[in-house]
Structure 1
Amino acid sequence: MNLARAYIEVEDFDNALAILEQLPEDNKYTAVLKYYVYFHQGDSENMERIKAQLPTEVASLPPSLPDFGIPMSPLLAKL
């Protein structure tokens, strides 16, 4: 998940999604990241599919990244 988040931070959504697709669908953090990626890719069909899996308080908001992020991550330099 951290590698997917690093790709998201540098707006490489295709690679982020490739990583996220390998992770279990039932993980809420994975779902939030996929929701965010699909939003930025303009994929409304998959956005709606993922939105249905999210808690109502998350699904009712515009897609956003959780606050904890990975600032200064050594992964960012490797991308």
Structure 2
Amino acid sequence: MASFRATGAPTVENVPGLSNEEMEKVCEESFVRYSSGGLSKKRGKRVVIVWFRNDLRLLDNEALFRAWVSSEVI
């Protein structure tokens, strides 16, 4: 899955048990699902706190993704 560091550069982490083709499909589907023109700009300078247990992946975590696109700081 793709995740983003402070620089905004994507990194890819393999999920155990999935082939490269399956990983590519999941990544593409997640990107399409959580990408839209209306969400691509940071809309505010507010701080957002997202509480989660153990999943830091951005594209398949809707709450974290929406916080990232709508705020300057998470």
What TM-score results when the alignment is normalised by the length of structure 1? 0.26
**Higher strand fraction (1 or 2):** 2
Return the index of the structure with the highest Cα Rg.
2
